[in-house]
Each structure stands twice: as structure tokens, then as C-alpha cells.
Structure 1
């Protein structure tokens, strides 16, 4: 181990110890978080309304505090955003992460308190790097810079509270000396015009010594391809010989695996992180497994609603101690960001309960279930990956929606896919995709049996840059904005199909 890595190991030891607590004493960790949250919650209007002073244990917490969606807690968030103090968390909340939301076109403003920044977002990032150093003691990333993509930060002028992308809020609050560890600098990172920022970032970072990458796979891929285009190089390690790892989150990496595999002559490591505007929840802690370690001592108390039966409809949540391996759960969090029993909209499956490791399986509203087929994003991504590998295709972006029954017409699913590399046989691609969905989803298979309820999926090939143009048209460019993958109605696919047809015909 180099001297720099020995110093880094010494500095990050406390964060690795925090991981050890998660693995060895998970329930104790959650009990401590619960107690701290309730004590702080007592000092808030929300706590007064829901009788936090009477909460002595988890059972009374369930009885006193309702499980809520963003829309249900939005009035309290708006009051906090106007500068009112002690609404959801003690004191004034100065920052709000603006989330485009993949389940709702309307923007959401997620409160980001000083405590949630420090004990959750920043601490989890430090734990991530501490863990990576343990897994790879000979890493060079501490001698090189980390390439990051940030969003824009706007000041909500009237009430003197800031809102913007979470990444921008974090960059705005990081110590000045972190600019020496990251590229580009905060001035470029916080530029709001994505088209201008893309070239600004690329022209700066191609002259830096980069060892690691951090960002959303789709937007990072756009940037990296721009860097290759500017330099005339074919592979990333021709620009940055020591680049070794990509820490990625925000969306599934599955559709991009082939793209990133082709970016380097050497193997580029990939470590998945599970963070959102609402919090940093988990990351890949093992170098040989993509499962994510649930972070239990970082300002978040977790509950889970089983997606089967009536539990979701009735919002019946269970604590961590009651979860089972293999079941699909919607996540409910209470956090030091001032969110109480809040449904973040994601679903997970536990692959282990000793320690607690998960995979992100989809969204509670990010699915297609127009005919009882219950197709979630996890199913579609798996089927696309299998179809792409079998037909030598590469996928950039996609979205899917139902085709509803009309008159005597049967229903179907419709997808529009932007390929980086087209399938060698498009008909085979469609058949393999359909067959794989049947194989992994019995409800879909039943509906597809002899075209009884569903016809074969209708798949369109998108023109180049269709999704980029669509996101730009909606004002959703940038690293924190995600293409909606599945929707149970046609609000996203219809404008995409129109835009694809308009540009193609013109």
C-alpha cells in the first residue's frame, strides 16, 4: 500500500468502522437512529400534530404517524420552503433538492437539512471510498481526480431558500479544498445550461489526470463520448491511463453495461450506489457482487411495505427485522431531512438479511400493469439485456407503455428504443425480448399465452438523439434528470413517438 493510501486508510477508518456496525449490529443501529429522529421530531410542528411526545416505541410510531406520499406532505414542505422554521425538522431548512420525479411530471422539492447533508450524503460518500480502499488497497484514485457531473443551483429568491439538483447542493456545500480532488471545479459544475456545460466540462477534464468517475450512467456516457470526440481517441484509458472505477447511481446500469465495457481497453470497475434526493441509502460493498449494503446508521429509519396482497393499498409497513429474502418491498423512510414515514417510490428486494443487502427492483409507479401483467422495470431491463446480447445490439435509452384495448383490439406493450448499435436481426431482438419477459414474469406469460390478452410488444427504433432532444424540450437536461423507463399510461411515449416521426419525416 502506498503512503497516500496509508494516510487515506487512517483518515477513513472511522467510516469503515461505521460500516462494521451496519454489518454486525444492524438492529441496534436502527434503534439508535429511531430514537434520535423521534427526539428531534418532538421539536417540530409535524411532531406536535402527530403526538411525537407520546411515541415510546415502534408500535406507537406506527399508530401515531401516517405513511405518506409527497403530495400528502407537500403543504408542510412548501411552508418550510418559504422559510418557516421547525416545520418538519428543528430550525430553518435552507436547501431543497428539486427532483423531476419519474412517477410524476410535476417537480418535487425535497428538504435537505444540514444534518442530512453531513450525516447522510457526505458520510455515505466517505464510507463508499473507505470501503473501496479496503477492497482495492493498491488503488490510485487518491492520487488522481474524480470526474463528477453536477447540476445547476438556483436561489429561490423570495424566501431566501436555495433549490436545485441534489448534486449541485452538495457541491455548493463541500469545503473549498475538495475542488483539488474533483474535476471540473464548482464554477463549471454548477453551470445551468447543459449544452454549454457539456463542452465546458469535456474541455477541462481531458487535460486532467482522472482516476474515478461519479455520476448517472446515461449522462456520464454522453460526456465520455464527447471527450473521445474532442480528443480523437478511441478509448478512455488513452485519455486517462489510470482511470479505474465508475461509481454510478440514479438509474439501472444494466442497459449500459456493453457501452461501458467498450469504452476502455482495460477493465473499468463499476460500483453501484443507491442514492436519491431523499437520501443515500445503500452501495455496493463487495467487489465481486453487485448487491447493495443497506446503510443503517446514517440518519435514516427504514420501513418496508410488501408489494403483494393488500399491504400496499393499506400502507401496512413492517420494520427491517420483519423483511424476508426475495420479496418485493416499497421503501418507507423517516430521516433527519424531515421526512416522516415517506414513500420514496422505489421498490427493493432483499437478497440477504445477514447482513441486510438489497437490489433495487423498480418503482412503485414505474411499471406497466394495464392488464394484470405486473411488469416492473427490473423485468424489462433484464429482457432488454438478454435480447441485446443475443443480437449484438447496444441500447442508449428506452421507454415503454401499454397500448390499451380498443373495440375488439387486444392490448399490447409499446416501446421506443434508441440504439447505439442496431441489432443484427431486429425481428430476433423483438422475439427474444418477448420470450425473456415471459420466462421471468409468469403474469405476463399468462396474458401473452396465445395472444389471449396481450399481443406481441410493438417496438420502435428511435432516431439518434431522440431522448436527448425530448429531455431538452422538457427542460430536463442534466445529470439529475432521468428518462422515465416505464409508465402505466401513455403520457411519455406519445410525445416521443410524435417527435420521432416529426424529425424523421422532416
Structure 2
């Protein structure tokens, strides 16, 4: 065992017990975070506009700070971009993380000197929890790859702009620099396909032990590795590959394809980062869900998803949530976001400690007939249909077909198969059965002959990649929406 792996185990032991200390006191921890946030922002423009000096409780805060999305923060953001100080948070942010909004165009999310360290600590602690639980630390001696955006930043009015993953590249600890791939020069390549090919060339003969990225793009990297190695499995190319870290999407629909590409099962750690904050990571291999980070400068509120669009939906804290309920997650942060709707929905899988799964997007659903199908349901249905089969998929999305040429309306599942089912009709029946078991409204529509069962449309090989390329979102942190209440994506996929 090397000095580095021994040190990693000792550090992991320390971090585990530090984490446990706050995780087992969730309400107390969140109360401290709340008080610190209000105190720090009282003299900002936002704090003055919302009378932070009069806020004595969470109830006061909820009365004075309504739920907002990015559009509602734009006027404050623009003032910061023009160089003004003390707007949403004290001073100026260090960075603006630029993201691609689906309705708002480009979004600029502030990152401050108080918020940025938590992004880095959470990434580190996810790995350390894995080491503490499994005792596996050998991978720290090998090479690690993080598929991410370009670290090239621009600057205006004293604030740097870039993609979150590119900003984070500037904070990689010194002790990891010599282990980290790809090279800085390769990370700076903007064209994704050129970048992937260059990454393959740089890594194919290296001792890769840890690989991290969004599953769909890591899959693309693995496929290129196979093409350049004469069809070898990833485990043959990287004999010491031990850990896959992913976030952004549910991994289960990809797992069978990954295991086939790799050639064996693989330990994995799920993380939940976003430009607005690093919210959770998988802290154990034996329990479902990710540990919600309650001490990371973020105050959390939750609204039941089925009441989110009501005029004054109830906002609750971590002490009032229940298991298995679909909640919209609302955050207030030490980067200056207040009562901010991140757009994701979560469900709690544990309350001691608080663990969550990401169940979907509050605006990504299908309810063309009142069924309100969410992302977690379609992903579970796909997993159940694939269980016990040799079916493998590359990608899929779901959309309603309201006006079919003939017959009843239906939900269309657009699937790019790597290995097709022997009986497509039977496979679609399994999906439909799983959907009916999970969603009583969908079941009622099928029973009442309002909808017919799901229809599967096969997408040509690389169809999803071609679609993402056609809209300028190939690679990086971009991902296909799992479902939509419209046919914009579905119709474009069918003509590629």
C-alpha cells in the first residue's frame, strides 16, 4: 500500500466522522446555515429590498422572499454583470457559471469565495466516503479522468465567466494534478468530437483507475476507446479501472451497456452537482440515495410537486419532509440565490441521515391527458423492462402522441438500442405494465381507453448524438431530457 493510499484512508476516516456529526443533526445544522446566510446578506441590495434586518425566523423569510426562478433574478444579475457590488451577496462573485437555459437562453449563476470551496470539498468527500466504506484506496495511485468543459475563462468587470466544470478545473488540488487527465491543452478544445478523439489518444495507454462524467458522454468515450483498440473491453484497456463517478442523469438505463463495454461490473458513485450548488453525493454503496449536504452554505426548502403550481404552495424544511414524496427543491445560498427554484424534483429515501434521489424536472413531465408522468417513473419502467434480459440501450426519451394517424393517442418511447429485444411487442408491454403500476393516473387512462399502451420507435444509431450536434449541444454537461410534454425533440429525432 502506497503512502498516498494510506493517507487517503486516514483522511477518509476523519471526513466520515465530521460528516456524521452534522448529518445526524439536520434541523440544527440547517438553522445555523439559515442564520448565517441572512446575517451575511442583510446589507446587500436584495437583503434591503426584502427587509432581511427584520427576519427573525424561517417563517419571516417565507413571507418576505417569494419563490423565484432565474428570470426573476435577471435584474439583480445584470447589475452584478455591470460591475456593481453587494447586490445578491456581499462584494462581487468570483465567477459566473454560464449554463444553457431551455427557456431563458444563457444563464449566469454567481459563484462566490464562500460558495466555491463547497463545490470542491463535496467532490473530494464523495470519493473519501467510498474509500472509508470499501477500504479501496489503491485507485488514488493511478490516473483519473474528468470529462468536462473547457477551463478557458473570460473576464468582465472583475468577474470571470465560464462553464462550472471548467471553473472547477482551476481548483484541482496540487496532490491530484500529476494524476489528472486529460491535459490542460486537451481540456481547452471546444469541439467535442475533436476533444474526445484527443482524450482517447492521451489516455489509451495510461493506467486509468477513476473515470468521471455524465454517462452518455463517458459511453461515447468508451466506444471510441474500443474502436481504437481493435474492439477490446475497457477492463482490458484499463486493467486497474476501479471507480466510475457520474451525475446529471439516472445511471440505471445505461448500466447494462456500460457493463458490456467494460466487460465486468464496476463500483460507482453518484453525485448531484449544479452551477447553483453541490447538493448531494452517494455516501454509501449499500443504501439507496445520495446524502443531502446540509452544512454546505445552502438552506433547503421543499414543495410537494403536485402543488407546486398553486398560488401559495406550502414550503417546508428538512424536518418536515416524508419518504417517497416528489418535492420541488428550493434553495437559498451563500452565492446569493434566495428562494430559488433549481427546477429539479427529488424524493427522500432516508431521513436518518437525509438521502435523496433526483426524480425529474418540475417542468419536464408528460401530462397531455392529466397523467403527470415524471422522469423517475419512465427510468424505472425502462430498468424493469430490461431486467433479466440482454437488452442494452444507448439513449431514450418519451413524448406524447396526441394526434396519431389512426387509433388512440399514446406515449411514444424513442429508443436507440445497442442490443434490441427479441420481441419488441413484449418489451413495450413490460414498459407499459411498469408505468401502470407506478402511476395510477396513467393506469386509469389505459383502463378507460383514453390512451393505448406505449409505442416504441427505434432511433437510428448515433441518432441522439446527431440531434445534440444539430442544436449545438454535443458533449460537456449537456444531456437529453428524459421526457417532455411536447414533440419538439421527438419529431426532430424521427427525421434525422
CA drift at 1:311: 7.0
What does the per-residue CA deviation read over 1:213-253, in whole Å, with 9 as the maximum and x for residues that have no partner? 11111101101111122122522121111111111101110
The residue that corresponds to 1:504 in the other structure is: none
Match in the other structure for 2:470: 473
- Aligned-pair CA distance for 1:387: 2.2
Q: Could you tell me which residue of structure 2 aligns to residue 150 of structure 1?
A: 148
- Counterparts of 1:81 and 1:141 in 2: how far apart (Å)? 42
For 1:359, what is the secondary structure of its paired residue? strand
Higher deviation after alignment, 241-250 or 106-115? 106-115
Cα separation, partners in 2 of 1:322 and 1:199, compared to 1, 3 Å: same
Alignment of 1:291 with 2:289, yes or no, is: yes
- DSSP-derived class of the 2:488 partner: coil
Partners of 2:394 and 2:21 lie apart in 1 by 39
Q: 1:457 to 1:28 in 2, by over 3 A?
A: same
Cα separation, 1, equivalents of 2:83 and 2:200: 38
Counterpart among 383, 386, 400 of residue 402 in structure 1: 400
The 3-state SS of whatever aligns with 1:318 is: coil
The 1-side partners of 2:404 and 2:222 are apart by 44
Question: 1:459 pairs with 456, 460, 463, which one?
Answer: 456
Corresponding position of 1:503: none
Please report how far the alpha carbon of residue 458 of structure 1 lies from its aligned counterpart in structure 2 after TM superposition: 2.8
CA distance in 1, matches of 2:53, 2:14: 33
Shift of 1:10: 3.6
**2:353 pairs with 1:336:** no
Q: What stretches of structure 2 of length at least 5 have no aligned partner?
A: none
Measure how far apart 1:471 and its partner are.
0.7
1:447-474 CA-partner distances (Å, limit 9, x unpaired): 1115x21122232111111111111111
Q: Deviations over 1:41-81 (max 9, x none)?
A: 11321111111111111111111111111111122223223
Aligned residue in 2 for 1:392: 390
Give the 3-state SS of the residue equivalent to 2:386 in structure 1: helix
**Maintained 8 Å contact 1:397/1:467:** yes
Measured in 1, the distance between the counterparts of 2:480 and 2:170 equals 25
Distance 1:311 1:402 in 2: 21
| Structure 2 counterpart SS, 1:150 | coil
Aligned equivalent of 2:360, options 347, 359, 362 = 362
Report what 1:230 is aligned to: 228
> 1:241-296 deviations in whole A, cap 9, x for unaligned?
11111111011101101011223344310111111221111111112223211111
For residues 57 and 397 of structure 1, do their structure 2 counterparts lie closer, same or farther at Cα, with a shift above 3 Å needed? same
- Contact map agreement 1:83 1:93 (CA 8 A) in 2: no
| Whole-angstrom distance in 2 between the partners of 1:14 and 1:203 | 38
The size of the alignment, in residue pairs, is: 496
What is the SS of the residue equivalent to 2:98? strand
Change (3 A) 1:189 1:213: same
Partner of 1:496: 493
> Residue by residue, what CA displacement relative to the aligned partner does 1:397-440 show, whole Å, maximum 9, x if unpaired?
11221222589974321221111112211121212111211121
User: What is the aligned counterpart of 2:188 among 173, 190, 193?
Assistant: 190
- Paired position in structure 2 for 1:416: 414
TM-score by length of 2: 0.94
Q: In structure 1, the residue corresponding to 2:211 is in which secondary structure?
A: strand
Q: Which residue does the alignment assign to 2:480?
A: 483
Indicate how the Cα distance of structure 1 residues 122 and 348 shifts in structure 2: closer, same or farther if over 3 A, else same: same
Distance 1:379 1:141, change over 3 A: same
Q: Secondary structure at the match of 2:109?
A: strand
Inter-partner Cα distance in structure 1 for 2:425 and 2:174: 54
Query: How far apart, CA to CA, are the structure 1 residues paired with 2:307 and 2:153?
Result: 44
Q: Deviations over 1:88-117 (max 9, x none)?
A: 11111232222224x537332221222211
CA gap 1:338/1:18 in 2 versus in 1, 3 angstroms: farther
The C-alpha deviation readout for 1:339-389, integer Å capped at 9, x for no partner, is 111011111111221111112111101110111111111111111122233
Query: What does residue 429 of structure 1 align with?
Result: 427
Cα 1:105–1:56 shift into 2, 3 Å = closer
